[in-house]
Amino acid sequence: MIRELWAYRELVYFLAWRDVKVRYKQTVLGVLWAVIQPFFTMVLFTLLFGQLAKIPTDGIPGPIFYFSALVPWIYFSSTVTNAGMSLVANSGLFTKIYFPRIILPAAAALSNLVDFLISSVFLVGFIVYYEVPLGWNLLLWPVLVVLLMLLALGLGAFFAALNVKYRDIKYALPFFIQLLLFATPIIYPASMIPERFQWLLALNPLSALIEVFRHVVVPNRSVDWNILGISAAIIGVLFIAGVAYFKGTEKAMADLV
Amino acid sequence: MTRSLEIQRLSKQYRLGQTQHHQMLRERLVEMIKHPFGGVKGTESIWALRDVSFDADEGEVIGIVGRNGAGKSTLLKILSKITYPTSGEIRVNGRVASLLEVGTGFHDELTGRENIYLNGSILGMRKREVEERFDAIVDFSGVERFIDTPIKHYSSGMRLRLGFAVAAHLEPDVLIVDEVLAVGDAGFQKKCIRAMEGLRNSGRTVLFVSHNLAAVENLCSRGIWIDAGRVRMDGAAKDVIESYMGSFSGERVSGFDLSGTENRSGSGEIRYTRFEYLSPEGTPCAVVRSGDPLVLRLHYHAEKTIRDPSFGIRLFTQMGTLITQTGHLLHGIHIPKVEPGDGYVELEIDSLNLVPGQYPFSLWITGQSSKMVFDGDVRGSLEVEVADVYKSGRMLDSTHGLVYFPQRWRV
């Protein structure tokens, strides 16, 4: 499978390139859209949860606190959504031509990475503006990105395969993602969760990821290696399970769509 | 000569209902809760292909003929690895490329240049290969002036030429082509045929499905006739086409003969004896295609003089929904009487705006009052084959509904 995927690597690239190109063609603001969504969500969160609800932010300036979590969150949620819809949306393609089907969700994961990187550059701007000191933790950043991609792709592939078979997935998916937004420390810090429930964080691999993303940017607190390790293991299992389920249903896909 | 393709006892089973109805996870869960030990309900299944075997050598161009639903498309889809066989084996020597549609994956917002790269990559070309052949592709397509224009501004003919240009430069060892010659103007078709001849001369194997029997005969050395999921005949293209055509005319004499039809109602003083499909010029139609003009000639035999008869037809979907009912009385045409003996009435349809498929119909002959039935529940069936009704290369099928309107888009 890996060899075949390697043979088709250019197609992943071309499909991702198509998605990016089409997304920003004919929009007045072009690539700025990649930043607008996390930026205004951040502004809203800062006003609503920071100023109004006075939810603590671990001593991190509000905008950085929210933005550093929103950038990976938006990557995650849009990749799971786009990858989950990728087969049904491209049914005209894969019922007419053969290529490894996993390429479709993989291309979604890759094309969203472009947005992720653009908004990450923006995040650097925040860091400079708030004069946050840089730490060694920053070296962890690429590892986190890989983990984030694996998680989003694993879940996305699972939902994509499920979506071909069961058409109500497209209604369930946004709901699932919305729930996850609240089950993940994005609008609140993980430290707000009482000590005896902290282990729950390890169960949601996205929690540890987002929390570490934050502390990589603002090194005011050390990385919890135990929780990150457990999360990485869970992500590995989810990724393999998601892709395995996808591969298992692959043969029947063209007959079902 | 080297074998390029070996197919052994290929079969494909479809579960009925699998394609029509998209299951909901909610339903499946409810089912699981209600019958936790029940498993999945057994459904009816059909064999789209049954024990199909044949080999192909390098340089062979094989035309595959058969009616709608005979299994041609399923065969091509299996050979293209789009769907998988239920049983059987395929061995291929070399690279397979399939062209089930021209311009698969074209995106309207992208330019011609960008689409060449995208489409080439989807068809399995490397970026380097596309770059090498780029000029030749553009040249072949004849759209060089618009190569940096988004293809949403292209005419359907230009899109088609661009799509075929990419495909023509694939250089696969085995090429699988479905009904692409039916589209485009004569000049384009010539170009396609030349491209396929080029493939043949360079020792490639081509499998080619078309309703254009003349093209099959010109292009192919060998023909395979698929009927009801099986290989009915495999031989020289000319012979296969002849037999295939013959099966239509044979049916006209026997199959469309209504004298043996059972379960007819009515008093029987006048009865339909047979019907024919004719072109407006009066020649028999071997194949009825979407959008074709069609004359349905209904022959009858009257035992005695019948006063004020009313002839009519109801056309149904396979599910039994009435599509249309028509009779000459609707047109204000009155037949005072019919003399004893044989005769016929004709229904001329300007354009058969039905999507491809099988359409049962029933015929009747009544008196002036529909209560007086002379002949009723006479069953026949109309088989409508695929056609490029919009001249765009996009074939109509059952996913496009039941009928289509003569139409134009203005954008």
Contacts of B109 in chain A (CB under 8 A): 21-22, 25-26
A98 contacts in chain B (CB < 8 Å): 80-82, 98
Cα of A165 to nearest chain B Cα, Å: 6
Closest by Cβ to B82, choosing from A14, A98, A172: A98
Q: What is the pLDDT of residues A141-193, one digit of tens each?
A: 899 999 999 999 999 999 999 998 888 888 899 999 999 999 899 988 888 88
B121–A10 CB contact, under 8 Å = yes
Residue B407 forms part of a structural domain? no
At B36 the pLDDT is 63
Of B248, B277, B295, at which residue does a domain stop? B248
Q: Which residues of A touch B26 (CB under 8 A)?
A: 168
The distance of A11 to chain B (nearest Cα, Å) reads: 6
Percent of chain A with pLDDT over 70: 99
- Where does a domain end: B218, B248, B278? B248
The domain tally of chain A equals: 1
- Residue A83 C-alpha, separation from nearest chain B C-alpha, in angstroms: 17
CB contacts of A165 in chain B (<8 Å) are 23, 25
**A168 contacts B24? CB cut-off 8 A:** yes
Confidence of residue A111 (pLDDT cuts 50, 70, 90): very high
Could you tell me the pLDDT band of residue A55, with boundaries at 50, 70 and 90? Answer: confident
- Reduced 3-state DSSP string for chain B: CCEEEEEEEEEEEEECCCCCCCCCHHHHHHHHHHCCCCCCCCCCEEEEEEEEEEEEECCCEEEEECCCCCCHHHHHHHHCCCCCCCEEEEEECCCEEEECCCCCCCCCCCEHHHHHHHHHHHCCCCHHHHHHHHHHHHHHHCCHHHCCCEHHHCCHHHHHHHHHHHHHCCCCCEEEEECCCCCCCHHHHHHHHHHHHHHHHCCCEEEEECCCHHHHHHHCCEEEEEECCEEEEEEEHHHHHHHHHHHHHHHHHCCCECCCCCCCECCCCEEEEEEEEECCCCCECCCEECCCCEEEEEEEEECCCEECCEEEEEEECCCCCEEEEEEHHHHCCCCCEECCEEEEEEEEECCCCECCEEEEEEEEEECCCCCCEEEEEEEEEEEEECCCCCCCCCCCCHHHCCECCCCCCCC
For residue B289, what is the domain's CATH number? 2.70.50.60
Confidence band for B204, pLDDT divided at 50, 70 and 90 = confident
Optimal mutation site among B92, B121, B175, interface A, most CBs of chain A within 10 A: B121
pLDDT at position A33 is 80
Q: Are B186 and B290 in the same domain?
A: no
In terms of phi and psi (left: phi > 0; alpha: psi -120 to 50; beta: otherwise), the region of B391 is left
Which of B53-62, B190-199, B364-373 shows the highest mean pLDDT?
B53-62
Let me know whether B79 and B225 are in one domain: yes
Q: Is B84 on the interface with A (CB under 8 A)?
A: yes
Q: Is residue B411 part of a domain?
A: no
* pLDDT of B35 strictly over 50: yes
pLDDT confidence of residue B104:
84
User: 0.80 exceeded by the pTM?
Assistant: no
* pLDDT bracket for residue B404 (50, 70, 90): confident
Per-residue pLDDT tens digits for A244-256? 999 999 888 888 8
Question: What is the domain range of residue B274?
Answer: 256-400
Q: Which helix (H) or strand (E) holds A156?
A: helix A141-165
Which pLDDT belongs to residue B17? Answer: 53
pLDDT-derived band at B20, boundaries 50, 70, 90 = very low
Residue B311 has pLDDT above 90, yes or no: yes
Domain boundary among B248, B281, B304: B248
B237 lies in a domain? Answer: yes
The mean pLDDT of chain B is 83
Chain B residues closer than 8 Å to A172 by CB: 25
Residue A179's domain comprises 2-256
Which one of B14, B22, B170 makes the best mutation probe of the A interface by having the most chain A beta carbons within 10 Å? Answer: B22
Nearest chain A residue to B399, by CA: A257
* Residue B1 reports pLDDT greater than 70: no
pLDDT score for A103: 94
User: How many CB pairs below 8 Å do chains A and B form together?
Assistant: 78
Give the count of domains, chain B.
2
pLDDT over 70 percentage in chain B: 89
Q: For residue B35, is it within any domain? A: yes
Q: Is B140 among the domain residues? A: yes
pLDDT at A50: 85
B312 in a structural domain: yes
The pLDDT tens digits for A74-87 are: 999 999 999 999 99
Minimum-distance CB partner of A166 among B23, B122, B124: B23
CB-nearest to B122 from A11, A22, A166 is A11
Higher model confidence: residue B216 or residue B122?
B122
Query: Chain A neighbours among B 19-48 (CB < 8 Å)?
Result: 19, 22-26, 28
Go through chain A and tell me how many residues it has.
257
**How sure is the predictor about B254, in pLDDT bands with cuts at 50, 70 and 90?**
very low
B271 and B237 in one domain? no
- In terms of domains, do B322 and B395 share one? yes
B54, B141: one domain: yes
Asked if the structure places residue B409 within a domain, the reply is no
What type of residue sits at position A234? Answer: I
Portion of chain A with pLDDT greater than 90, in percent:
43
Report, as an integer, the average pLDDT of B238-265: 69
The reply to whether B291 and B341 lie within a common domain is yes
Cα dihedral: A58, A59, A61, A65 (round 10):
-10
Tell me what pLDDT residue B94 has.
85
Q: Please report the pLDDT score of residue B43 as a whole number.
A: 60
CATH number, position B203: 3.40.50.300
Lowest mean pLDDT among A56-65, B1-10, B124-133, B209-218: B209-218
Residue B19, pLDDT > 50, answer no
Quick check: is B406 in a domain?
no
Residue A21 near chain B (CB below 8 Å): yes
At B42, the pLDDT band (50, 70, 90 cuts) reads low
pLDDT confidence of residue A3: 81
